[in-house]
Amino acid sequence: MLSDWFYIGVFLLVSLFLPAAAITIAAFLSPKRPNPIKNATYECGMETVGEARVQFKVQYYVFGLIFLVFDIETVFLFPFAVAYQQVSLFGVLEAVLFILILLGGLAYAWRKGALEWV
């Protein structure tokens, strides 16, 4: 078990190391001749107006909130799915009830117009 996670840890480091190494090598190989025009923010040749970190649509935030609910739901559903073979029919129905409550939540959000992109 420990060896499994040791492998995962090594693999994580390796998979971050390889692209980082490639970029570092490329940074040495490539020319470096910066000038103010070249480093300016690219907006199709126009002068940049104001801050680049602009306000964003509130809809993204609403969808983020709905996503959070469903993401936590899946965290609860994974253990159920793993234990499914040992669970009796009653237990399965309990899980179905859990899913139905969430479907109700989705229906509520839908009804309230949270899913409309305006």
Provide the binding-site residues for another protein, judged by CB under 8 A. Answer: 3-4, 6-8, 10-12, 14-16, 18-20, 22-23, 25-27, 29-34, 36, 38-44, 48, 52-54, 56-57, 59-60, 63-64, 66-67, 70-71, 74, 77-78, 81-85, 89, 92-93, 95-96, 99-100, 102-103, 106, 110, 115-117
We find the least distance from the C-beta atom of residue 6 to another protein, in angstroms, to be 6
We find the least distance from the C-beta atom of residue 112 to another protein, in angstroms, to be 13
We find the least distance from the C-beta atom of residue 101 to another protein, in angstroms, to be 11
1 alpha-carbon distance from chain centroid = 28
* Ordered DSSP codes for the chain: -HHHHHHHHHHHHHHHHHHHHHHHHHHHHS-----HHHHS--STTSPP-S-SS----HHHHHHHHHHHHHHHHHHHHHHHHHHTTTS-HHHHHHHHHHHHHHHHHHHHHHHTTTT---
How is residue 106 written in tokens? 């989705």
We find the least distance from the C-beta atom of residue 95 to another protein, in angstroms, to be 6
